[in-house]
Amino acid sequence: MPKKEHMTLMNWSYGYDFMPEYEDRTKLTNIMLKTNLLGNGANLLMHDRDWTNAALKDIVTGLKEKGYAMLEPDKIKKN
């Protein structure tokens, strides 16, 4: 199905927005930026949810401030 839908199949390193305790912009932003799972090559799982949408700009800004870059999926080196 991914190829039929023109989607890239990927695994993810971590995500929290599906957990009830992180259904809040500030809490989600904090955990996404402070988790010990964040590191080079991490692939962050985020869903189409109101609180995720509200936190997205702050998450991206925080990641950039930490020196991380965002990549399009087709730019990720595959092993």
The residue-averaged pLDDT of 24-35 equals: 98
What is the mean pLDDT of the segment spanning 20-37?
A: 97
Model pLDDT for residues 5-18, shown as the tens digit of each residue: 777 778 899 999 99
Give me the torsion for CA of 11, 14, 23, 64, rounded to 10°: -100
* pLDDT tens-place string over residues 40-75: 989 999 999 999 999 999 999 999 999 999 988 777
**What are the tokens at 27?**
């809490």
Per-residue confidence (pLDDT) for residue 64, from 0 to 100: 97
* Angstrom distance (rounded) from CA 56 to CA 79: 28
